[in-house]
Structure 1
Amino acid sequence: MRKIYKKTAIAAIFLIGLFSACSLEETNPSTVDLEIAYTSPEGFESLINYCYDALYYYYGKIDGIGAMEMGTDLWVSESKESGFTMYDSKMNTELGTLRVIWNGFYATVNYCNTAIYYADLVADYSEEQKNAKVAEAYFMRGWSYLHLVEQFGNVVLRTEPSSVSGIDNYPVRSTEAEIYDQIISDLKFACQHLPLSQGAERGRVAKKAAYGILAKAYLQRTRLGESNSADYAKLALETAKELIDNQSTYNCALYTSDGTKSGYSKLWDGINNKNNPEFLFLEAIDHEGFLNPDGDNRGRTRQYYLMDLKTVGAEWGTAEKNCAWYSRANDRGFKPTKYLMTEIFEPVMDPADTRFGETFFTEYYNSRWSDFTISQTLVDKYGKDQSLVGKTIKNTAATYFPGVDHYFGQTYYTVNASGNVNMLDSDMDGYLDGISVFTPNYNISAAEKALLPFLCVDPSDMYDASGKWVSAETSTLGTYYKECYPSMRKFSSLYWIYNNQKWQGDFPILRLGEVYLIAAEAALRYNNDQATAAQYLNDIRQRAAVTGRASEMTVAQAGVDLDFVLAERARELAGEQTRWYDLKRYGKLTTAYLAETNPDITTFDQEKHVVRPIPQSFLDAIANPDEFGSNGY
């Protein structure tokens, strides 16, 4: 596998003029120097490699999670990214995350502009080779502007590199329609010229990525309310169908269910992570040499969505340092809303839909390397039945050997993790003997919970009567119950555990399952074609069904509308950094909708919070900050 993100001395020349979007103090290298650097295939390919750099800082990282997934109907946080999660006073022009997003995407735009500008000067390329290579820059520029326009609204549209255009001291905003015109033009070029496959070079974009993101861009554009919005919905449907109807051509496929496992479960199996036919566009992680822009500092997503295994969980036998399956507990922060837990997902013990179980962990095990005894103190504190005093929670910690790595043909990591021994129900009570904490999304009666030999926290404990997360003020045990909730499972396969904190799996940015959802929504937005929408939705729903229960997942076309698709997107994509854009497209970023679905958000202002503040660092660097504006912040 080629390391496509390796940095070279030639590409380093470009760093001098990189951030013209946020500084007036730069001195750009001469275009003569750049022509020398980028007119050879080696130098040009190094520049193309740099176009991918920024995505490593948004996917699987808190900057991207906050901006793309938080502040929606799905998640709550008291401690992480409060500007994004709660729309509080930290959402202002000085917020550092916004600077990271702004600078990073504009840096990518500048790399791409440079590559596009010099492409015709590269020697030893045929026309086809040149177009195939520069198409990667067109794709990444379109992808970057898609984020910029959704995060910040009508921003500055730049199509020339700063080394050519010079510093822009008086930037002028383009309209959102003009920006979308450029996004669509760039992605259409990528669709036309990218190869069908990039071979063994995981992470490089091919035609399937371009078609997928183009379909996404067409659909997202419908939020602008243009007179021809239905035309863009039609284009989104046609573009999505190109992928769906020609999966073998584009080397992509949905996993299908078999007699033991749903297709959705296979999607998240670690053994399938590095060669996943459903991943259309991905952040490829080099887990051997750590030749990533940030080395081995990967896989933090699961850590941010983790319940308290360090204090509350530890009272019942969990141990943070032996819980590699779950990751570290000290970065806990994002937890599900009641709406996600009990309305998006069906709150029953044995659902036909496997997606809740594949999205979340609900069982946390004794991982102290010895049996754990329930004390009188615990029984009294949590209102347990007195018969549980002295009851043993079995140790589950053991050395875990994933076996043969089918990607490299060798034995992979050895990790110490909970959940490998004593995973039995010897006392036949319906629960594994090693469970310390259980956080289901369905309610269990108080009498039954009192008899369970572990801590059980269900929605009746997690949320107050208004649907907000409990607190010390609203519940006797609120201080403890507010730290107990299902944790993110999607990015936690033991197959790619590097250590207790880091996970080395690839991260899907766009996958084929979402393209089916794009097609379903586009069919409704184009001409309310419920039959077509139901067809695509049922393909997705049935592959997520428990074996033998696909019929329970089938939806009738009469029951399909846009709100159903939005809920289906939550079931399919929760935690995959899509939700804020979904709510924006649906017009659901409103005070009323968030009050209904996420009542913990109390300061949302629909007049300004549908876009982010312009970073102060940019405003300070330009000569017309008052004219440019800060998006109302």
Structure 2
Amino acid sequence: MKYFKNIGFGLMILAGVSVTTTSCKDFLDEELTTKLSTDYFDTEQGLIDLTESLYGNIRWHFGYEWAYAITLYGTDEFTNGNDLTSEPWNTYDNRFGPIACTPATGAANNNCPAPQALWDEMYYGIASCNTIISKAETVIQDEATRNRCLAHAYFLRGYNYYRLTAQYGGVVLQTEPVEGVVRNFTRSTEEQCWEQVVSDLRNAYDLFEGEVYTYGKGITWTKATAAHFLAKALLFRCSERCQKQFANDGTSRTDADIQADLTEAIEACTYAINARGPLTSDYSDLYANWTGVDCENEQLDEILMAAGHNADDATKGRYGNRTYNYFTPQFSNFAGGWVKRGVWIGGMDFQRCRPTEYTYAVFDHVNDARMWKTFKTVYGINAIANDSISNVHNAQLGDPGIVMILNKQDDHTYDRYTFGAYSQNPNWTDDEGRLPEWRVGQRQTATTGELTSTPGQWAPNSLVLYQNGQYVAPEFKSVPICNFFAGINKTDDGSRTAEKGDAHRDVTMARLAETYLVRAECYVRQGNYSAAMNDINVVRARAQWKDGENRSFYTDGSQAFENNALNTGSAADNYVNSNLNMNTYYLSNPDIEVTTEASNLQLTSFPSNLPEEDEAILAQIGASSDFDRAINFILNERTRELLGEWSRWEDLSRTETLITRAKAFNPEAAPGITANKHELRPIPQSFIDGLLNDDGSNLSDEQKAAWQNPGY
């Protein structure tokens, strides 16, 4: 998508000349229109085109390494694999600060996200919104059209300021267009920023015409979208980080203020839930069952906001969708040649986001279907790397080539077995030379396929989480840092036309299951634990195995390759041999007999007597009061439901749990993360250095220091 963008960077050109916009019926099917002045935005069509172009601003979030670095790294859920592109964002070491980290200052390469990336891009979108808001009343005569444009502009401005304030705390509030280059700004307090966010999202909520899809055939912004983010903003304003910061600024809010915010947030959530419910019945339909560009699953009512993509290279803008690169292990490296990568496997093996022990342990491995519909644990042999080894073990194309057993700490089935990458250990045996018994479902074409097993089947690569009660997964690697782990499938895309080509699937940014969890947290903060439990149980009900489900079946967005023009010849064979539609459910739960019965995840009390996996986590972080137990349980549930969905750092920062949970569950982050510093990001030095005083003089060192967040 081509979209409005100012010349220069960030706030310094907040209202500079706009040179690019679009004219379109479908915001993903655009005809480029170039204007050399802003006069076009003094016309009704100009503002309509500018409004439609706002959808392009959100695509930026998923176009490069910052997608995961600023949202997922340095938390309890993910740490870095062997690739160290964005490592400073995970380790919080001395390379992470206001100045972009480069190879000269210790970065692994030139792709480490800079602290100004989000800052600059959000202000580009804000500038477009300011233009629409300032002109719509006088330029657009038709009331419905005017309100539609204003609703979109208020929403994106509120959303962008939400992202800025969530990351940096107080930022610069610029809500009017500015002529020319401006270099003297005032930094607003965090409370003032949240007031602006809430105001903008309230305006959007009031102006949107219910669930009317105004631009294109995709899931576009509606009243429910605004309601969801209004609730999140109100909840953020009530959370621990804000109350501490407000107190530091001498502007503490009263209990009545907080209760009013929580009540309004609950009402907003309720609107979205009633307007767009119920939840999609099968969790797999949200991500795993992605079958190709613009498929029906991208239109699910549960999806409240998505960054839209399609297969037209002319509309992708500067950045396409790169998210398929970031969640997959380095399978082509440790596989020893038995599993090679290509467009037929939906993810590239860039090994950026490696799940932590917590991320595996937080699931009920037996009863929670989300685990087995999210983690990819089996890859098929798509190349015979060694004929003699193949002959000895009768290894064939399409046999399991990589097997990841996600067992629990108290499982001792595999204590005596030797696991590892092919190059380290080609024979998977115990110390008596015995091969393990396979109990995975063989290749399936439907979830109702017959369950089978092959005792003693050999696999060249294998991993287990626990042996002798110890977490040993990080030891499985063919390089100094672990590159062998179970990745998640929420971004896999078999529609790519080149191995490293852009993905074509939409990226979900908000969905209704999160709305339920936001409302549940609001109820907890009101002391209404019963209502909170009811909302949590709605989410957990969808997560249960349904009667008749094949628990060993697995699929992901690789299946889009079936509709790919490249699906011919050897590529077609590689697709079939690589994607075996199986997981390691029964290997990982060796005491479970093959079953298709429904499971039960419903809470019967809250926040007491929680599931054992939650009790273990709460004990490790010392959460003992009812309130702390409830908040941390919801954070656990957010992991189970929303793993990898681009908001974890902000959720932990706002609840003041980032330091505790990162230290407890992220070994790479634990040594560097510091309280009263890393709950906020550094203000970009490139912005601070460009500021001037009102008289045109440069800021002094003391003035620059006053702009910066504590500790940087």
Normalised to the residue count of structure 1, the TM-score between the two structures is 0.79
Alpha-carbon separation, structure 2, partners of 1:620 and 1:569: 39
Within the alignment, does 1:355 sit opposite 2:370 as a pair?
Answer: yes
Q: Return the match for 1:65 from 37, 43, 68.
A: 68
Does the 8 Å contact 1:373/1:392 carry over to 2?
no
Alignment of 1:337-376 (within 5 A): 337-342=356-361, 344-346=362-364, 348=365, 351-368=366-383, 370=384, 375=389
Question: What's the offset of the Cα at 1:581?
Answer: 1.0
Alpha-carbon separation, structure 1, partners of 2:86 and 2:493: 26
Distance of aligned partners of 1:117 and 1:208 in 2 relative to their CA distance in 1, 3 Å threshold: same
What amino acid maps onto 2:336 in structure 1?
A
SS of the residue corresponding to residue 304 of structure 2 reads strand
Does the 8 Å contact 2:377/2:402 carry over to 1?
no
Q: Deviations over 1:417-474 (max 9, x none)?
A: xxxxxxxxxxxxxxxx33333342545414456224122211137x996x69746xxx
Within the alignment, does 1:114 sit opposite 2:131 as a pair?
Answer: yes
Structure showing the higher helix proportion among its residues = 1
Q: Return the match for 1:594 from 650, 662, 671.
A: 662
What amino acid maps onto 1:75 in structure 2?
F
Alpha-carbon separation, structure 2, partners of 1:541 and 1:360: 18
Does the 8 Å contact 2:227/2:272 carry over to 1?
yes
Alpha-carbon separation, structure 2, partners of 1:212 and 1:587: 22
SS of the residue corresponding to residue 672 of structure 2 reads coil
Question: What's the offset of the Cα at 1:372?
Answer: 5.8
Question: What's the offset of the Cα at 1:231?
Answer: 2.7
Q: Return the match for 1:136 from 124, 149, 152.
A: 152
Does the 8 Å contact 2:161/2:193 carry over to 1?
yes
Equivalent residue, structure 1, for 2:9: 19
Equivalent residue, structure 2, for 1:427: none
Equivalent residue, structure 1, for 2:448: none
Alignment of 1:13-92 (within 5 A): 15-16=6-7, 19=9, 21-22=11-12, 36-59=39-62, 61-77=64-80, 78=82, 79-92=84-97
Alpha-carbon separation, structure 2, partners of 1:94 and 1:575: 27
Alignment of 1:606-625 (within 5 A): 606-623=675-692, 624=699
SS of the residue corresponding to residue 310 of structure 1 reads helix
Distance of aligned partners of 1:222 and 1:334 in 2 relative to their CA distance in 1, 3 Å threshold: same
Does the 8 Å contact 1:302/1:488 carry over to 2?
no
Within the alignment, does 1:490 sit opposite 2:483 as a pair?
Answer: no
Q: Return the match for 2:201 from 150, 172, 187.
A: 187
Question: What's the offset of the Cα at 1:160?
Answer: 0.8
Question: What's the offset of the Cα at 1:131?
Answer: 1.3
Equivalent residue, structure 2, for 1:301: 323
SS of the residue corresponding to residue 270 of structure 2 reads helix
SS of the residue corresponding to residue 159 of structure 2 reads helix
Distance of aligned partners of 1:374 and 1:106 in 2 relative to their CA distance in 1, 3 Å threshold: farther
Alignment of 1:93-492 (within 5 A): 93-95=98-100, 96-123=113-140, 125-163=141-179, 166-195=180-209, 196-199=211-214, 200-202=216-218, 204-223=220-239, 224-225=242-243, 226-227=253-254, 228-247=257-276, 253-256=278-281, 263-268=282-287, 269-271=289-291, 272-288=296-312, 290-294=314-318, 297-298=320-321, 300-315=322-337, 317-321=338-342, 324-329=344-349, 331-342=350-361, 344-346=362-364, 348=365, 351-368=366-383, 370=384, 375=389, 390-396=392-398, 433-442=399-408, 444-447=413-416, 450=429, 451-452=435-436, 453-454=458-459, 455-460=461-466, 470=474, 479=479, 482-492=482-492
Count of aligned pairs: 541
Alpha-carbon separation, structure 1, partners of 2:407 and 2:177: 51
What amino acid maps onto 1:600 in structure 2?
E
Q: Deviations over 1:110-132 (max 9, x none)?
A: 11111111112324x31232011
Alpha-carbon separation, structure 2, partners of 1:71 and 1:567: 16
Q: Deviations over 1:372-422 (max 9, x none)?
A: 6574xxxxxxxxxxxx981033213xxxxxxxxxxxxxxxxxxxxxxxxxx
For the aligned residues, what is the CA RMSD?
Answer: 2.9
Question: What's the offset of the Cα at 1:63?
Answer: 0.7
Normalised to the residue count of structure 2, the TM-score between the two structures is 0.71
Alpha-carbon separation, structure 2, partners of 1:27 and 1:371: 58
Alpha-carbon separation, structure 1, partners of 2:472 and 2:85: 17
Does the 8 Å contact 1:105/1:148 carry over to 2?
yes
Distance of aligned partners of 1:308 and 1:201 in 2 relative to their CA distance in 1, 3 Å threshold: same
Structure 1: unaligned runs, 5 residues or longer:
257-262, 376-387, 397-432
What amino acid maps onto 2:11 in structure 1?
A
Within the alignment, does 1:556 sit opposite 2:604 as a pair?
Answer: yes
Distance of aligned partners of 1:596 and 1:6 in 2 relative to their CA distance in 1, 3 Å threshold: closer
Distance of aligned partners of 1:203 and 1:621 in 2 relative to their CA distance in 1, 3 Å threshold: farther
Distance of aligned partners of 1:302 and 1:509 in 2 relative to their CA distance in 1, 3 Å threshold: same
Which stretch of the first structure deviates more once superposed, 564-573 or 622-631? 622-631
SS of the residue corresponding to residue 541 of structure 2 reads helix
Alpha-carbon separation, structure 1, partners of 2:480 and 2:38: 62
Alpha-carbon separation, structure 2, partners of 1:29 and 1:307: 42
Does the 8 Å contact 1:274/1:506 carry over to 2?
yes
Structure 2: unaligned runs, 5 residues or longer:
20-34, 101-112, 244-252, 418-427, 430-434, 437-457, 548-596, 609-629, 693-698
What amino acid maps onto 1:522 in structure 2?
C
Distance of aligned partners of 1:614 and 1:551 in 2 relative to their CA distance in 1, 3 Å threshold: same
Alpha-carbon separation, structure 2, partners of 1:41 and 1:614: 37
Question: What's the offset of the Cα at 1:39?
Answer: 2.3
Alpha-carbon separation, structure 1, partners of 2:310 and 2:522: 36
Question: What's the offset of the Cα at 1:278?
Answer: 1.2
Alpha-carbon separation, structure 2, partners of 1:276 and 1:156: 36
Question: What's the offset of the Cα at 1:56?
Answer: 1.3
SS of the residue corresponding to residue 604 of structure 1 reads coil
Distance of aligned partners of 1:231 and 1:446 in 2 relative to their CA distance in 1, 3 Å threshold: same
Distance of aligned partners of 1:176 and 1:243 in 2 relative to their CA distance in 1, 3 Å threshold: same
Alpha-carbon separation, structure 2, partners of 1:129 and 1:234: 31
SS of the residue corresponding to residue 146 of structure 1 reads helix
Alpha-carbon separation, structure 2, partners of 1:47 and 1:525: 40
Does the 8 Å contact 1:371/1:395 carry over to 2?
no
Does the 8 Å contact 2:465/2:473 carry over to 1?
no
Alpha-carbon separation, structure 2, partners of 1:231 and 1:162: 35
Alpha-carbon separation, structure 2, partners of 1:204 and 1:241: 19
Question: What's the offset of the Cα at 1:144?
Answer: 0.3
Alpha-carbon separation, structure 2, partners of 1:318 and 1:20: 44
Question: What's the offset of the Cα at 1:572?
Answer: 0.4
Alpha-carbon separation, structure 1, partners of 2:344 and 2:351: 14
Alpha-carbon separation, structure 2, partners of 1:291 and 1:101: 22
SS of the residue corresponding to residue 509 of structure 2 reads strand
Within the alignment, does 1:536 sit opposite 2:502 as a pair?
Answer: no
Distance of aligned partners of 1:160 and 1:34 in 2 relative to their CA distance in 1, 3 Å threshold: farther
